[in-house]
Amino acid sequence: MLPVRSVEPAQAVTEAASGPNPDVGLLYDINGIAKDAPHWADRVVEFVGEYGIVLGLAVLMLCAWWSVRKSEDAPSAVAALCWAPVAAGLALLINIPIRGFVRRPRPFLEHQGLEVLVKGKTDFSFVSDHATLTMALGVGLFVANRKFGLVGIGLAMLEGFCRVYMGVHYPTDVVGGLALGTAVTLLLAPLAMMLLTPLMRRAAVSRWGGWLVGPGAPVPVAVPATGSSAGEAGADPALPGALRRDSDLAA
């Protein structure tokens, strides 16, 4: 007679859930790592998933700004960096009606046996705000600088993994957030760059332009109009004073 294998309640829930619904099955597989991990590892993932990656992206954006401000087209690159947090804010605003329409409860409210690392989450689950925010920042970084952007996108992917590991989101919540952050940032980027780049170029030639363009970086100079007077050495008298001075230096 074959021995009867005993099944723990949480394991039974896992086996039952992993069959018909791949989303729930993957949730249990990733969250199950938290059960086997040491306590200190769970605390590290909890901090990283709640605050650490967002802070890391903020530091990465500062490093990207310090690098691109010395590039050949610093105003355009800095405009893209300015667009990244704006795009993230817009994506989070767009997510508000999405969450209210879908009204998906948090996974730990509907499935037993999950290891929940963060308590007190009572809002809806789809889509993940953290995944939306971090991916919007990562894609915005990619628009400004590919090297820093790839690191930022990698951090956003890690954020998504952490949210499932912590038991507060389904995998599809994360995928939806990553897609939302990417779509908002890329679809509105042409309009945003068209508006922000001229502002950054004006700032670059102003008296406070040092924060935008670093030492040694070429400052954008207005092209002098034809037919200008010889006394201005080729500078257009209709240009603002700062632009005329830059035209004189270029001559």
Residue ranges of domains in the chain: 9-194, 207-250
Q: How remote is the C-alpha of 65 from its chain's centroid? A: 15
Instruction: Give me the mean pLDDT over the 191-201 stretch.
Output: 90
pLDDT digits (tens, 9 = 90+) for 2-54: 333 333 444 444 444 444 688 898 999 998 888 888 889 989 999 999 999 99
pLDDT digits (tens, 9 = 90+) for 162-187: 999 999 999 999 999 999 999 999 99
Instruction: Give me the mean pLDDT over the 140-153 stretch.
Output: 94
- In the numeric block, which tokens belong to residue 181? 């952050």
pLDDT digits (tens, 9 = 90+) for 13-24: 444 444 468 889
Q: What pLDDT band is residue 203 in, cutting at 50, 70 and 90?
A: confident
Task: Compute the distance between CA of residue 31 and CA of residue 145 in angstroms, rounded to an integer.
Answer: 34
Which region among 16-30, 74-88, 231-245 has the lowest average model confidence (pLDDT)? Answer: 231-245
Q: At the topology level of CATH, where does 9-194 sit?
A: Vanadium-containing Chloroperoxidase; domain 1 (1.20.144)
Asked if residue 119 has pLDDT above 80, the reply is yes
Task: Compute the distance between CA of residue 132 and CA of residue 124 in angstroms, rounded to an integer.
Answer: 14
182 and 139 Cβ atoms separated by less than 8 Å: yes
Asked if residue 134 has pLDDT above 60, the reply is yes
pTM: 0.76
Task: Compute the distance between CA of residue 18 and CA of residue 180 in angstroms, rounded to an integer.
Answer: 27
pLDDT at 71: 77
